[in-house]
């Protein structure tokens, strides 16, 4: 799917760009962003049919505005493609882009200092990456990271595990750049409602504010009014998610404390670990009683040569859930870390 044209009006104004569309009798969506807000213009054959302001957007007459021009047939509301239209993550599919992102070369940016700076600035928006079969994004509201999602090989990581993938992307010298997008808090709060699972099946459509996930994409709604449609869906029922209104209910995610690459560590079975998996030994009976089937699966996965990350994906456990199992198995002398 084409993502249209992204750029900056430079010495021209947003009005100049709009007049060009009018002369061409073009149809589509024009998003314009300034330092104080943004506006979404629904254009049909050169005429503006709807305008939706976000934040304290000033004027079409101002020069130097970022823009996203997305051509499409006349529609009922402004439309934009999602950041990762074919992702298995609803959050990554639903992220809009209103203007060109700030590109940050990996390995040349101290990610912890960047996150500290964004927190100090009370930044609203997203920090994302995509390319080489992986993608991810962290959502910022008033400088705090309230949600994160990342995908690789069709497997979606969330929260702290997604932050690990973001950390790895920031250290990958040959990888895709990190991309920083400013977004209006209304948009971020709607995305947070989706990411945090605030489903609202009984919401009153006339007053609903948030995001409606659909088979073909997502709809952003404010006080019952549709102001943006996102293209890029993966099937499934229509589900409304109420925007996050209470900041106290939002998580505050951080980069992991473990050193970069910790999730790539491999482990091997000790002789005691081998006996624990041998049903003919007395230790195996004790192990099954003490650790259960879940512990046995973790020992088999890690003892079989999987990295921590691979084991977490295979067993459908977050890395934070896997860590206590790893500690118990190491404390029991069943596993030992392999040298790189």
Please indicate, yes or no, if residue 172 is contained in any of the structural domains: yes
Q: In the structure, what pLDDT confidence band is assigned to residue 14 with cuts at 50, 70 and 90?
A: very high
Question: Domain check: are 96 and 226 in the same one?
Answer: yes
Question: Domain check: are 54 and 98 in the same one?
Answer: no
pLDDT at 1 over 90: no
Question: Domain check: are 158 and 35 in the same one?
Answer: no
Structural domain ending residue among the three candidates 217, 249, 281: 249
Question: Domain check: are 231 and 271 in the same one?
Answer: no
Question: Domain check: are 35 and 184 in the same one?
Answer: no
* Between 257 and 48, residue with greater pLDDT: 48
Contact between residue 227 and residue 51 where contact means Cβ atoms under 8 Å apart: no
Please indicate, yes or no, if residue 152 is contained in any of the structural domains: yes
- The strand pairing partners of 71, in sequence order, are 28
Question: Domain check: are 194 and 156 in the same one?
Answer: yes
The whole-number pLDDT of residue 231 equals 92
pLDDT at 340 over 70: no
Question: Domain check: are 165 and 240 in the same one?
Answer: yes
Q: In the structure, what pLDDT confidence band is assigned to residue 251 with cuts at 50, 70 and 90?
A: very high
- The strand pairing partners of 79, in sequence order, are 229
Question: Domain check: are 165 and 100 in the same one?
Answer: yes
Query: Distance of alpha carbon 17 from its chain centroid, rounded?
Result: 31
Residue 124 gets the label, from left (phi > 0), alpha (psi -120 to 50) or beta, of beta
Domain coverage including residue 294? 262-337
Number of domains in the chain: 3
Helix, strand, or coil here: 209? coil
Q: In the structure, what pLDDT confidence band is assigned to residue 287 with cuts at 50, 70 and 90?
A: very high
Helix, strand, or coil here: 94? helix
Please indicate, yes or no, if residue 257 is contained in any of the structural domains: no
Please indicate, yes or no, if residue 84 is contained in any of the structural domains: no
Q: In the structure, what pLDDT confidence band is assigned to residue 270 with cuts at 50, 70 and 90?
A: very high
Contact between residue 142 and residue 122 where contact means Cβ atoms under 8 Å apart: yes
Please indicate, yes or no, if residue 256 is contained in any of the structural domains: no
Task: Quote the CA–CA distance of 19 and 12 in Å, as a whole number.
Answer: 11
CATH number at residue 304: 1.10.10
Question: Domain check: are 27 and 165 in the same one?
Answer: no
Average pLDDT taken over every residue of the chain: 93
Question: Domain check: are 119 and 238 in the same one?
Answer: yes
Question: Domain check: are 104 and 216 in the same one?
Answer: yes
Please indicate, yes or no, if residue 17 is contained in any of the structural domains: yes
Q: What is the pLDDT of residues 199-217, one digit of tens each?
A: 999 999 999 999 999 988 9
Give 217: exposed, middle or buried? Use CB within 10 Å, 0-12, 13-18, 19+. buried
Q: What is the pLDDT of residues 107-128, one digit of tens each?
A: 888 999 999 999 999 999 999 9
Contact between residue 137 and residue 126 where contact means Cβ atoms under 8 Å apart: yes
The whole-number pLDDT of residue 73 equals 95
Task: Quote the CA–CA distance of 9 and 131 in Å, as a whole number.
Answer: 28
Structural domain ending residue among the three candidates 227, 249, 271: 249
DSSP assignments along 162-204, one per residue:
HHHHHHHHHH-TTSPPEEEEE--HHHHHHHHHHHTT-B-TT--
Please indicate, yes or no, if residue 79 is contained in any of the structural domains: no
The whole-number pLDDT of residue 260 equals 79
């Amino acid at each position: 799917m084409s993502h249209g044209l992204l750029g900056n009006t430079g010495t021209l104004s947003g009005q100049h760009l709009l007049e060009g569309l009018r002369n061409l009798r073009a149809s589509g969506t024009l998003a314009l962003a300034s330092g104080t807000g943004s506006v979404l213009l629904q254009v049909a054959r050169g005429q503006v049919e709807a305008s939706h302001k976000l934040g304290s957007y000033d004027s079409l007459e101002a020069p130097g505005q970022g823009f996203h021009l997305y051509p499409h047939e006349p529609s009922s509301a402004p439309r934009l493609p999602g950041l990762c239209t074919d992702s298995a993550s609803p959050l990554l599919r639903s992220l809009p882009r209103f203007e060109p992102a700030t590109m940050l070369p990996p390995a040349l940016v101290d990610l912890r200092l960047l996150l500290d700076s964004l927190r100090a600035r009370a930044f609203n928006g997203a920090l994302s990456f995509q390319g080489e079969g992986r993608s991810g994004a962290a959502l910022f509201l008033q400088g705090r990271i309230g949600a994160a999602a990342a995908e690789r090989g069709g497997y979606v990581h969330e929260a702290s595990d997604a932050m690990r993938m973001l950390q790895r992307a920031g250290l990958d010298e040959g990888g895709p750049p990190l991309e920083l997008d400013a977004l209006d808090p209304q948009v971020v709060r709607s995305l947070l409602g989706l990411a945090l699972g605030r489903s609202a099946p009984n919401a009153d459509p006339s007053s609903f504010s948030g995001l409606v996930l659909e088979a073909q994409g997502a709809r952003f709604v404010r006080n019952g009014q549709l102001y943006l449609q996102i293209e890029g869906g993966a099937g499934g029922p229509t589900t409304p998610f109420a925007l996050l209104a209470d900041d106290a209910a939002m998580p505050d995610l951080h980069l992991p404390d473990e050193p970069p690459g910790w999730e790539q560590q491999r482990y091997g079975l000790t002789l005691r670990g081998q006996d624990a998996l041998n049903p003919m030994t007395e230790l195996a009976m004790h192990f099954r009683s003490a650790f259960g089937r879940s512990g046995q699966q973790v020992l088999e996965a890690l003892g079989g040569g999987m990295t921590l990350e691979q084991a977490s994906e295979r067993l459908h456990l977050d890395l934070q859930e896997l860590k206590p199992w790893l500690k118990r198995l190491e404390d029991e002398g069943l596993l030992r870390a392999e040298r790189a």
